[in-house]
DNA sequence: CCTCAGGTAAGAG
DNA sequence: CTCTTACCTGAG
């Protein structure tokens, strides 16, 4: 990958902390940071490099790649609808959200492939971001096509279906092995299942996903938000739970009540709000808690 | 050696 | 429908 760097999207559309958090902050496991302002990853099967230089995002890809600029803009949500989405959030009345948005300017939801998103979040339970990435890469290395030096693409569920539970265990998936095998089998029997989700409303799509082994409410929401273009999905993980309990004072609230609050308070782009709050909580809660105990 | 982690499923109340 | 606990594995 030695081609020329090409500007991507308008200048100052995104800042360094925002793009870095979007790529390696935990919604995607496809990117590796190469330096402070440069990343390498796989987009729809193509090896891609991104870098951020004085307000401008730039990209390049391998010579044999067939990914287009249009696809990249879509993947990175680099169009005017992003600003509309952020503006639609209740930042005017919500100081907590407002603070989070200001800390990560330009943080966005990537439009990742649905099938791949399902796989990585199936692996995600009780694992940290580096562990999920490592586990995913082990599977890709075994089954996926090599698109760069040591970098493999998503193998697809057809190939994943060939994995036995024992083989999956050997890769270190642990109790997630039966989820993987069960989901692969289900998708083999229902080949249109994932494609159909695209035309199904969020709530119904979530219920359908939750029929898959290993997919509960949290994973279903992650899959729909990060891979299903359902921006109203609001995954409640431990970080968001902390944010709602500590920042929003919802200590005694039930999950179902929090979901209702999110739907009403954050609206159509609740998932985008979730991402801001998630990042803020993950990066700043420690220092904040430390200050709290000091006082 | 022990605890705990981007959660889910199963069983009980 | 809410609450508890086991489940693999590896990092701290």
- Interatomic distance A90 CA / C12 C1' (Å): 39
pLDDT at A285: 82
Q: Which nucleotide is nearest to A175 (CA to C1')?
A: C8
In tens, the pLDDT along A53-92 reads 999 999 999 998 999 999 999 999 999 899 999 999 999 9
pLDDT at A204: 97
Strand C contacts (Cβ < 7 A) comprise A 126, 131, 169, 172-176, 178, 254, 256
Q: Per CA to C1' distance, which residue is closest to C10?
A: A131
> Which is it for the CA torsion A103, A34, A282, A240, positive or negative?
positive
Radius of gyration of chain A (CA): 19
> Which is it for the CA torsion A230, A109, A39, A282, positive or negative?
negative
pLDDT at A289: 55
List phi, psi (to 5°) of A80.
Answer: -65, -20
Q: Which nucleotide is nearest to A237 (CA to C1')?
A: B6
pLDDT at A294: 36
**Token pair of A122, please?**
């199936």
Low-confidence stretches of chain A (pLDDT < 70) are 287-295
pLDDT at A293: 40
pLDDT at A14: 87
Within a 13 Å sphere around the CA of A213, how many CA atoms are in the beta-carbon half? Answer: 13
Q: What is the pTM of this model?
A: 0.96
């Amino acid at each position: 990958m030695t081609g020329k760097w090409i500007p991507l999207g308008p200048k100052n559309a995104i800042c360094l902390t925002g793009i870095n958090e979007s790529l390696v902050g935990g919604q995607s496991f496809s990117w590796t940071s190469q330096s402070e302002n440069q990343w390498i990853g796989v987009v729809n099967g193509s090896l891609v490099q991104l870098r951020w230089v004085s307000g401008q995002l730039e990209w390049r890809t391998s010579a044999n790649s067939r990914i287009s600029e249009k696809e990249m803009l879509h993947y990175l949500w680099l169009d005017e609808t992003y600003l509309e989405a952020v503006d639609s959030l209740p930042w005017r009345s919500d100081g907590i959200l407002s603070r989070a948005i200001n800390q990560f300017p330009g943080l966005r939801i990537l439009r990742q492939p649905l099938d791949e998103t399902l796989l990585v979040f199936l692996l995600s339970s009780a694992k940290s971001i580096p562990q999920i990435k490592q586990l995913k890469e082990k599977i890709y290395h075994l089954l996926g096509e090599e698109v760069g030096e040591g970098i493999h693409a998503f193998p697809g569920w057809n190939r994943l279906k060939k994995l036995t539970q024992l083989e999956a265990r050997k890769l270190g998936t642990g109790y997630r092995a039966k989820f993987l095998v069960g989901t692969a089998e289900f998708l083999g029997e229902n080949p249109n299942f994932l494609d159909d989700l695209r035309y199904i409303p969020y709530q119904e799509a979530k219920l359908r996903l939750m029929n898959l082994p290993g997919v509960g409410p949290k994973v279903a929401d992650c899959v729909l938000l990060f891979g299903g273009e359902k921006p109203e999905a609001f995954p409640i993980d431990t970080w968001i739970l902390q944010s709602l309990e500590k920042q929003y004072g919802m200590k005694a609230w039930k999950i179902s009540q929090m979901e209702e609050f999110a739907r009403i308070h954050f609206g159509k782009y609740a998932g985008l709000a979730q991402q801001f709050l998630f990042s803020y909580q993950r990066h700043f809660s420690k220092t904040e808690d430390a200050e709290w105990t000091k006082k």
